[in-house]
Copies of this chain bind each other. A is one copy, B any other.
Amino acid sequence: MSIDDAVPIAESSRLGGAQSAGLVRPQAFTFAEPPNEMELECGQRLGPVTLAYETYGQLSPQRDNAVLIVHALSGDAHAAGWHSPDDKKPGWWDIVIGPGKPFDTNRYFVISSNIIGGCKGSTGPSSTNPRTGRPWGLAFPMVTISDMVRAQKALVEHLGVRRLLSLSGGSMGGFQVLEWAVRYPECVASAIPIATSARLSAQGIALNEVGRQAIMADPNWAGGDYYGREPPKAGLAIARMIGHITYLSDQQMHAKFGRRLQDRQSFGYDFKTEFQVESYLRYQGDSFVRRFDANSYLYISKSMDYFDLPARRGSLVQAFEGVRAEFLVISISSDWLYPTYQSKEIVKALKANLVPTTFVELQSDYGHDAFLLPNAQLNDAVSGFLANVLRRVRGGGHGGQGRANGA
């Protein structure tokens, strides 16, 4: 096991003032060195495995205040703070992670983990295949949400944490949250899945598939063997544009863009960009291809398609049978990609197992991505829930103590 990390730096910084996690350092943890490769759900073996991560705040002497943050399809480990004073933006969930914020780094030791299969410092299809010395490409084995979570478990143990106080993530991050709670019940005191589902819907699979088809139809994709050459930018941009439409609500698109024209007064009657919403989408597509690997998009979207907790044990109620965490389940009223009814299915199955569960539907017009935007309802729900869990854990009980027929 090689270690490429040290005590995390979370320097106090004037960046973002007292509310900022400050300057933070990207870290990486490598394990599963051959011959001790990780055995993946698909049956193949993978090693060594590197996982990019960051931490914010300090682990308590009792090691009971760790909160794991897991991200969505296109996310990375940089969830809070700044990498340099010159950064234009802080981490992707900086609005809720930091001193005095809901994931309060004065109280909690926040770990933000990347995923295997990704392209943000963790082992994925753009990493070097040790057998060939060249990028894996499509020779990279298929990874699943379970595989991602098993790698995160190794990271969390490496950081000296046996039991997470909580973990949270939205969208595909919610898949990881649910997988953690089911796979490692003794290691999860509480869980906060947001804007997610216990399995990807047919519509979700369909949307992912069209994005993949767009990537694979790009001649530059070249069967996934494009590293060192021009990548399949056009295809990946289209996949991203499709995604972006699903992340916003109809109402929000109307409020944000309406039918306003971009840099022109009247219709051009041509196929150039005319409407602001077109310009926005093209910008989102173009900027995404500069920061994301097309093969990782294929692998990660496929891992989402495979996610199906109910199928694992016959039903979602049965899948949750061993769960010992208490839950805060959060949905978004205008989310049509992971509609509220899918969160309610989770809540119902948890309650059928007498798992202490709080459900909050955020009232927001911002669609699926609303959890990434400032929201007082989200802040209040998370901070209150975490404070209660910490109190109960320190009171000597377990997250599962509230269960009438706890194991």
Interface residues of A (CB under 8 A from B): 42-43, 138, 141-142, 199-203, 205-207, 209-210, 212-214, 216-219, 234-235, 237-238, 241-242, 245, 248, 250, 253-254, 256-259, 267, 269-271, 274-275, 277-278, 281-282, 285, 298, 302, 305-306, 308, 311, 336, 339
Contacts and interface: CB of A to CB of B under 8 A. Distances in A.
B245 A278 contact: no
Ranked 10 nearest A-B pairs via Cβ: A142-B269, A217-B234, A42-B269, A202-B253, A202-B277, A202-B257, A209-B278, A203-B250, A210-B241, A203-B253
B217 A278 contact: no
A140 B216 CA distance: 31
Given A138-B271, A267-B306, A259 B217 contact: no
9 contacts: A201-B250, A203-B250, A209-B278, A210-B238, A210-B281, A213-B237, A238-B238, A242-B242, A274-B305
Given A203-B248, A206-B245, A209-B277, 4 more contacts: A202-B253, A206-B253, A209-B281, A214-B217
Contacts of A285: 213
Contacts of A278: 205-206, 209
A295 to B, nearest CB: 10
Contact of A311 (B217, B218, B257, B259): B259
A275 to B, nearest CB: 5
Given A218-B217, A242-B242, A202 B305 contact: no
B205 A277 contact: yes
Contacts of A205: 259, 275, 277-278
A241 B213 contact: yes
A145 to B, nearest CB: 13
A207 B269 CA distance: 18
B253 A238 contact: no
Nearest to A276: B202
A238 B217 CA distance: 9
Contacts of A336: 250, 336
A140 to B, nearest CB: 11
Contacts of A254: 201-203
Most B C-beta atoms less than 10 A away, residue of A219, A258, A259? A259
Contacts of A267: 42, 306
A299 to B, nearest CB: 9
Nearest to A141: B269
Contacts of A275: 202, 205, 209, 305
A271 B206 contact: no
Nearest to A259: B308
Contacts of A238: 210, 213-214, 217, 238
A245 B207 contact: yes
A199, A202, A274 interface centre (most CB from chain B within 10 Å): A202
Contacts of A142: 269-270
A203 B245 contact: yes
Contacts of A138: 271
A270 B141 CA distance: 9
A216 B336 CA distance: 28
A242 B248 CA distance: 16
B235 A217 contact: yes
A139 to B, nearest CB: 11
A381 to B, nearest CB: 26
B306 A245 contact: no
A203 to B, nearest CB: 5
B218 A281 contact: no
B201 A245 contact: no
B219 A219 contact: yes
